[in-house]
Amino acid sequence: MKIGVFVCHCGENIGRTVNCPEVSKACASFPGVVHSEDYKYMCSDPGQNLIKQAIREKHLDAVVVGSCSPHMHEKTFRKACASAGINSYMVEIANLREHCSWIHEDIAEATKKAIDLMRFAVERVKFNHPLQTIKVPVTKRSLVIGGGISGIQAALDIANAGFEVVLVEKEPSIGGHMSQLSETFPTLDCSQCILTPRMVEVYQHPKIKLLSYSEVENVEGFIGNFKVTIRRKAKSVKEELCTGCGLCAEKCPIKKKALSEFDEGLSNRSAIYVPFPQAVPNVPVIDRSVCTYFKTGKCEMCKKVCGREAIDFTQQDTFVTEDVGSIIVATGYKLYSIEKKPEESIYKGYGEYGYGKYKNVINGLQFERIASASGPTSGEILRPSDKTEPKKIVFIQCVGSRDESKGFSYCSKICCMYTAKHAMLYKHKVHDGEAYVFYMDIRSGGKNYEEFVRRAIEEDHVNYIRGRVSKIYEEDGKLIVKGEDTLAGLPVVIEADLVVLATAMIAQQEAPKLAQTLNISYDKYGYFQEAHPKLRPVETNTGGVFLAGACHSPRDIPESVAMASAAAAKSLVLFGADMLEREPIIAKVDESTCAGCFYCQKVCAYNAIEKKEIRDRQGNLKKVVAFVNSGLCQGCGTCNATCPSKSIELIGFNDDQIFAQINAFAEV
């Protein structure tokens, strides 16, 4: 075997601490090495050309590159070698940067270690075999989970590219939080006006299958080939018959008993309801927990009035399965509760702000509803307790955010902006009103964001006070807000009529469960984890599963939309080819020695081990052995280490290769 060795200086990264020419010289004397050289940037075009040239001229069979981590450039060098005619998997990388130059200071010692690392790699590559990438077929359909603005955007992008999308939304309507917003920063355009056309587009799109009031129950399979089971919750209304006339909701006797989720509890809805007039689909559902019929067996008012005979009290949850190639998770966020909920141990809550005891202490989404033309006050700023116009309003930022003792240590990122928006909307509607904002810092990074906040302060004369509020209590219908002005160094007391808490954006409570169903990671707060914080922000560690919007971290609409389009693009990349290429680094079972103990099945984190029956020519069952599903196997090697009869080999990391490396080390 003719081996070529290439030592990269990585500019000064390796060259500063490792004497690269000396390493190259030492390598030249290793058995099997027929070519050795060093260069400043091996990954650059001239660098790659050196490798290609040597392969052609010296007829190399294998290549060892001493460079940065294989994470960085293994692919680059493999491609270069392949283009010069040798198999990509005849290339090994010795990590001279992360494993050597970056962590050592002494040049002589580091050089010595670099030579050793190179020798190990050279010994290893002698046992490499040419491998072929694995090809798996791709189902060119997407599943989008969550129908907020992120899910809507992702679904439309994919559908407009000509591929089918299944959009699963757990609520009766799509739209998410954006449908609740009044006007949006930094342009103050009406949220519904920009959102509803897109919701309708989703509904009418021939390529989008909308499953509302549904949840993902189970996911099997792997990138390009997922099989998803979806629970369609019983709406008690036959979707295909309903025309959305709304008569049922109008006549439903439970008018005042159920709090409207859409209006954040500031108004009531009937037992049979659509969340809001522009809902998509415009089909009501019966909330069985409050419906008189489901409680007492009597009523059936909706059934009586429905001219389409669409009401079906006997409807059950049903399950459908969908085959898809990619999954986009866009399940969004929820708000930190200002009510006392001791059973939710994730946060301690704010007793000093009244724990939802005072009707006039509300959260940001409630203010959005009050300010919204479609809200419970038709857009007039009226406080909940007595429906009067508040003349003094106090906004408190960072409630639950940036507060480890009561909530979360992260910044919710959007509340500085929406608080400025709220204060502005208030001033635009209540001209003689006074608005105060208590803040810790104003974080308004973003295009036209800082200007927006300055406008609130300078043009709309919102009073910004830097400091925390220590206590709120109600006295004679006024909310006494006690705080500190840390810039003036003085205590402040404001007698307010309405207080709005900018509570933290937090992960959906069932996010960890969904993450487990999808086999993706989530962080300690319950937000889904990206594959790489910088270079793979919308991918997850599970191939074919992508993230969009506020289910990943607090995000505003522009960021959510951008992320959704990115996730859609990632799906489309997948759909660009008929077959999917995968690294051949997977486990392989030696069927002749496999004893069928299936320890490997127990330890495999990716459910990649299946059972295979071995039969003789007469069709009699001889034995059952382990079989690796090449689509699912991630090449982690756990089974390889577990197998008691050593019947599993990890291709590309087999015993011969590893032992060659270790033996080379022992010879040192």
Partner 1 sequence: MKLGYYPGCSLNGTAKEFNSSLKEVFSTLDIDLEELNDWSCCGATSAHVTSHLLSVALPARNLMLAKKQGFEDLLAPCAACYSRLVSSQRELKLDEKMRMEVEDILEEKITNGLHIINLIQIFQKIGLDKLKEKKLVDISKIKAACYYGCLLVRPVDIALPDDMESPDSMESIIKAVGGKTVDWNFKTECCGAAHSIAHTDIVEKLCKGIIDNAEKHGADVIIVACPMCHSNLDMRQLNIMKHFEGHKPIPILYLSQLIGLVLGIDEKKLGLGAHYINTKPLLDKIKGADIPKSVPIEKLQKGVEA
Q: Least distance from C-beta 409 to ligand FAD, angstroms?
A: 19
State the nearest-atom distance from the C-beta of 367 to ligand SF4, in Å.
14
Secondary structure letter of residue 500 according to DSSP: E
Q: Report what 398 binds from ligand SF4, partner 1, ligand FAD, none; CB cut-off 5-8 Å by kind.
A: ligand SF4
522 secondary structure, DSSP code: B
Residues whose CB is less than 8 angstroms from the CB of residue 411 and which lie 6 or more positions away in sequence, other chains included = 398, 401, 402, 443, 554
Using CB distances below 5 to 8 A depending on partner kind, what does residue 475 bind out of partner 1, ligand FAD, ligand SF4, none? partner 1
Q: Which of 247, 258, 320, 562 binds ligand SF4 (CB under 6 A)?
A: 247
- What is the x/- site pattern for ligand SF4, positions 194-233, by CB under 6 A? ----------------------------------------
Under rule CB under 6 A, which residues in 316-355 are in contact with ligand FAD?
Answer: 330-333, 335
Nearest distance, CB of residue 484 and partner 1, angstroms: 14
Q: Tell me the Ramachandran region of residue 319: left when phi exceeds 0, alpha when psi lies from -120 to 50, beta otherwise.
A: beta
488 burial level (CB within 10 Å; 0-12, 13-18, 19+):
exposed
- Decide whether 243 or 509 has the Cβ nearer to ligand SF4: 243
**Cβ closest to ligand SF4, residue 65 vs residue 306:** 306
Q: Which amino acid is at 144?
A: V
Binds 561: which of ligand FAD, ligand SF4, partner 1, none (CB < 5-8 Å by kind): none
Which stretch, 63-71, 167-175, 423-431, 626-634, contacts ligand FAD (CB under 6 A)?
Answer: 167-175
Q: Rounded CA gap, 288 and 271, in Å?
A: 7
Specify the residue for token string 């050089």: 111
C-alpha 557: how far from its chain's center?
15
Stretch in the footprint of partner 1 (CB under 8 A) among 164-172, 175-183, 273-281, 349-357 = 349-357
- Size of residue set near ligand SF4 by CB under 6 A: 27
Strand partners, 208: 165
Question: Measured between alpha carbons, how far is 550 from 241 in angstroms, rounded to an integer?
Answer: 35
Residues 456-485, one symbol each (x = binds partner 1 by CB under 8 A, - = not), give -----------------xxx----x-----
Q: Which two tokens stand for residue 56?
A: 């052609």
Write each residue from 558 to 597 as x if it is in contact with ligand SF4 (CB under 6 A), else as -, in one continuous string.
Answer: ----------------------------------------
Q: Give whole-number Cα distances, 40 to 13, 48, 67, 107, in Å.
A: 10, 11, 10, 17
CA distance 278 to 288: 23
Contact between 127 and partner 1 (CB under 8 A)?
Answer: no
DSSP 585: -
Contact region for ligand SF4 (CB under 6 A) — 27-35, 200-208, 440-448, 620-628? Answer: 440-448
Contact 117, 100 (CB under 8 A): yes
Q: Which two tokens stand for residue 244?
A: 């959305």
Which range touches ligand SF4 (CB under 6 A), out of 321-329, 394-402, 509-517, 587-595? Answer: 394-402
Q: Which of 106, 34, 25 is nearest to 63 (CA)?
A: 34
447, two tokens: 């295009």
Q: Which of 197, 351, 491, 576 is in the footprint of partner 1 by CB under 8 A?
A: 351
Distance CA 213, CA 167 (A): 11
Q: Find which of partner 1, ligand FAD, ligand SF4, none residue 6 binds, CB within 5 to 8 Å per kind.
A: none
Contact 180, 365 (CB under 8 A): yes
Contacts of 510-514 spanning 24+ positions with Cβ under 8 A: 511/331, 511/551, 514/145, 514/216, 514/329, 514/331
Specify the residue, 93 or 500, whose C-beta has the smaller distance to ligand SF4: 500
**Which residues of the chain form contacts with partner 1 (CB under 8 A)?**
350-352, 355, 405, 473-475, 480
Site for ligand FAD, rule CB under 6 A: 145-151, 168-171, 176-178, 181, 184-185, 215, 330-333, 335, 364-365, 368, 414, 418, 421, 508, 510, 514, 549-550, 555-558, 560
